[in-house]
Structure 1
Amino acid sequence: MKNSILLFLFLSIITSAQSQRFTYNYQFIPDSTNVSDVKNELMNLDVSKSGSKFYSYTVYQSDSLMKIDLDRQLAATGSLNIKSDNRKGLVRYTVSKKYPKYEISLHNRILRDQYNVSEERPVVWKITSEKMKIGEWSAQKAETDFAGRHWYAWFTTDIPIQDGPYKFHGLPGLIVKLEDQTLSHRFTLQAVKNISSIPEEIFGANDIPVNAKQYSKLLKDYENDPTKGLKQVQMGGAIMIMKDGQNSNMKEQEGRIKERMKKDNNKIELKNI
Structure 2
Amino acid sequence: MRRTDRRTGVTVAVVLAAGAVLTAFPLFWMLSGSFKPQREAIDFPPSLLPRDPTFDSYTQLFTELEFGRYLVNTIVVVLIGGVGVLLMAMAGYAFAKFRFRGQRWLFFLVLATLMIPVQVTMIPTFLVINGLELTNTLVGIALPTLVSGFGIFLFRQFMTTIPGELLEAARLDGAGELRTFWSVVLPMSKPILAVQAVLAFIAGWNSFLWPLIIATDQDSYTLSVGLALLNQQLSVDPGLQMAAASLMVVPVLVVFVFCQRYIVQGFALSGLK
TM-score normalised over the length of structure 2: 0.29
Q: Which has the higher strand share?
A: 1
Q: Which has the higher contact order (CA 8 A, sep 6+)?
A: 2
Larger Rg: 2
